A and B are shown apart, each in its own frame.
Chain A
Amino acid sequence: MPELLKPTFRRAVVAVNGSPTDERVVRLVSELARPAKAEVVAVHVVEIDWTMPLDADIAERSEEAQRVLDTAEAVAEQHNYRLEGVLLQARDVGAALVDEAAERQADVLVLGLPYRTRFGGEFAIGRAIPYCFKNAPCTVWVVRDAIPEEPR
């Protein structure tokens, strides 16, 4: 990417959810953040349904939830970058991401959108991305990335 076209930011919030897209997104943001020494925060939101209290002991006990952020941190470190991992419990992922980005005064909120190459680029955009587009107080990047296809 030519130097002039490189987007610059001071603080980025990256949403990670354990999908194959996470690695690409974290790598991309780490590479972009490094020259400007920008701050990168990886956020993983565990959605808590209304049958449980919001502070139910779910995410902390879930190795899977912890691993999502641990993997993001490891990927960033492989690219000589250190990011902060934040684990949230919330009723709605999109709202939690937007609120976290707002609280941290992030310049950019980055989300991954995996798609399948085999079926004409089929993807499920879900609720979080449209919510962020509509409500985020900052720039929103969506990285549409191919899911590695399983062998037939």
Chain B
Amino acid sequence: MNRSDREPSGGSPGSLPGRKLADRRVRVKRPHAPYFRYTGPGQMVATKAASAPTTPGGRLVARLKATAIGRPLANEQEILERLPKVKALPIFSSDAISSSAYATDEILKVLILAGAAALTWSIGVALAIALMLTIVAFSYRQVCRAYPSGGGAYVVARENLGPRFGLVAAAALMVDYVMTVAVSTASAIANLATAFPVIGDVRIELGALTVILVTAANLRGLRESGNIFALPTYLFVGTALLAVGVGLVDVFTGQAHHLAQPPYAIPPESQTLTIFLLLRAFAGGSVALTGVEAIANGVPAFKPPEARNAANTLIIMAVILGTLFIGLTFVGAQYGVRATLDQGPTVLGQVGGAVFGNGILFVTLQVSAALILFLACNTSFNAFPRLAAILARDGYMPRQFAFRGDRLAFSWGIVVLAAVAVAMLVAFGADTHALIPLYSVGVFICFTLSQTGMVLHWRKERGPGWLWRSAVNGFGAVLTAVVFLIVASEKFREGAWMVLVFIPVLFAMMWFVGRQYTAATRQLELRPGQVVPHPHREERVVIPVSAVNRAVGQAINVARTISDDIRCVFISDDPEETERFRDEWQEHVPDVPLVVVESPYRALVAPLLAYLEVLDRGWPDDREKPVTFVVIPEYVARSWWERILYNQSSRRLRTALLGRPHTVVVNVPYRRDEPGIFESIAGGGRGGGS
């Protein structure tokens, strides 16, 4: 700031007098104050005003954005956006907990192939799945503590098995998250369509709209989306636990009797109950585990102490999920519930009807189940962007994925997930049957890799109890690997092959991005101790001109500050015009050499590039090539339509010069509303600084 910025001082007429004669003071202006705050020597923080858009269009977009997703939050508010356990549970667990609403059905659908008597095996299968859930949850609890920066299976595999396995886990997880959004949305729409058949005609549009709404809720930030999604999750957990509790009381008081066969019950078949059939039932029921890993991905989203809170939330989720799953399976078995075709009631619906009758509790249970299935996709909207951000920070995804949006959410990840999920919905016609074979395949790959990674982690750490911890994780790895093989082979022909193609493709893309970033970093890095030297190269300036006007005058003056070696190049396809131009040039800028290039083929950019090439070739071989500054005069457009009318050639030229060796492109804008600048630098009569 110069003196003119402050009030006059001393006894001058404009000074600020005090109450006593000598008490004068000077008020110092603080031009930085609205935009920056000093926080340390040479360090400033930009305020909200500094980040605000300056154009009317930008301000309008910002206002619309603020209306849709809320006002921008500052980084320091991130801690306020962190989730307490009570909000984190619904956000990260809606996927896992919602699977208790249909996991038992998946077991019964397989067991019925061996006849109605085989259904009693459902409890044993459910217990085995619960054991696997315990192992997986235990493993991820350790992951939360060992890797508090989040990332779950990806980080565990990367750290213990190497980056390639890490990327396999990440690719598998990402595919599964996309599928979770597509499948849960499609199935929720299908459920609604059974009640309101008219919806069936617009299910793709409705599915896309649902995804957009969940996207908007997530773009509003963690805390707000937590508020939105908490109620349905807790409502479902409450009513389902009540159903299990009442059912258990009925069972132990002898009031539970086998129900009549529900409509659309799958008829029993007469296959032999083999270990393979039991394994298939086990694999079918293992969908209950999808979403269990989400908390380990999002540890940094928790309030401090992050790792402990995440680990405890994971256990709470596992306990709720396990209780609901075993409880519903056990009570269902006592009531003799049956798996049905899609049109028939679910196991949850049959148990609810048996214990609650047809009253308000039954309706609440069904509505909350529909809602939680609807919102199961929200877990993906929290886990996917976090995983993508970690991958971006590691250099395996474009860096934009690591940037936080206005509301501190990882907006890129959220939007990309929504876009891909909507594309899947459109591609598969929002048909649950077409989408479901692609679901819950990838997650077992990442379970297996994370368990295997944890085995190596324990072996490396050799802390107390490492041997039994390794054994548990090793057992879990084998179990989840078996489930993966069964699930993949079962669903392969129905569409799982696509997942097994997507995963390597995604892996290859991330590997490619990683290699690009690594190569670029290596090329750009300064060696330790290396000091950037002063330049010894010569500089010259080339100014392409199309007229003799103020914009060109300003460009010439900027060029004069760069080098004395300046030449202007006029490319013309009209000899008469050239003569006129030369005369005009001599009149206004006689001291700057003008090179006229006649272009009989009317090309503009190519002759200029050729001229630059000729200049380079003419440079003595024994001297280092000079830096050529191409100074391009530009007229600053004041409205959108002026942008169409002006600067088209400059844009083409700029694009053509991009990446040319030893060349720097300088744009010199000329603003029509600042004529004073030209007047002064062009030696006009007004004077003054530029």
Q: What is the interface of chain A, defined by CB distance below 8 A to chain B?
A: 45-46, 53-55, 57, 59-60, 63, 66-67, 69-71, 73-74, 85-92, 95-96, 98-100, 102-103, 135
Contact = CB atoms under 8 A, between A and B. Distances in A.
A90 B33 contact: no
B672 interface: no
Contacts of A74: 37
A90 B5 contact: no
Given A55-B8, A73-B37, A87 B25 contact: no
18 contacts: A53-B10, A54-B24, A55-B6, A55-B7, A55-B9, A55-B10, A60-B28, A60-B30, A70-B33, A70-B37, A70-B38, A70-B39, A88-B28, A89-B25, A90-B23, A92-B23, A95-B18, A95-B25
A57 B24 CA distance: 16
Interface of B: 1, 3, 5-10, 15-20, 22-30, 32-33, 37-42
Nearest to A103: B16
A91 B23 contact: yes
B19 A135 contact: yes
B12 to A, nearest CB: 9
Nearest to A90: B25
Contacts of A70: 33, 37-39
Among all A-B residue pairs, the 5 with the closest Cβ atoms = A55-B9, A70-B37, A90-B25, A67-B38, A95-B23
Nearest to B31: A60
B19 A88 contact: no
B27 A63 contact: no
Contacts of B17: 99
A105 to B, nearest CB: 13
Contacts of A102: 19
B41 to A, nearest CB: 6
A134 to B, nearest CB: 12
Given A57-B3, A95-B23, A99-B18, A85 B8 contact: no
Contact of A90 (B24, B30, B39): B24
Contacts of B29: 60
Q: Which of A70, A88, A100 has the most CB of B within 10 A?
A: A70
A63 B33 CA distance: 12
Contacts of B5: 60
B75 to A, nearest CB: 13
Given A95-B18, A96-B18, 15 more contacts: A54-B10, A55-B6, A55-B7, A57-B3, A66-B38, A67-B39, A69-B30, A74-B37, A85-B30, A86-B27, A87-B30, A88-B27, A95-B25, A96-B25, A99-B18
B38 A63 contact: yes
Nearest to B10: A54
A59 B15 CA distance: 17
A63 B5 CA distance: 17
Given A66-B32, A91-B23, A54 B38 contact: no
Contacts of B20: 95
B28 A89 contact: yes
B9 A54 contact: yes
Given A60-B1, A70-B39, A85-B33, A91 B24 contact: yes
Contacts of A69: 30, 33
Nearest to A97: B25
B38 A99 contact: no
A79 B15 CA distance: 35
A99 B16 CA distance: 9
A57 B38 CA distance: 18
Contacts of B42: 63
A96 B17 CA distance: 10
Given A59-B28, A66-B30, A69-B33, A53 B23 contact: no
Nearest to A66: B38
Contacts of A103: 16
Contacts of A67: 37-40
A87 B1 CA distance: 14
A73 B33 CA distance: 9
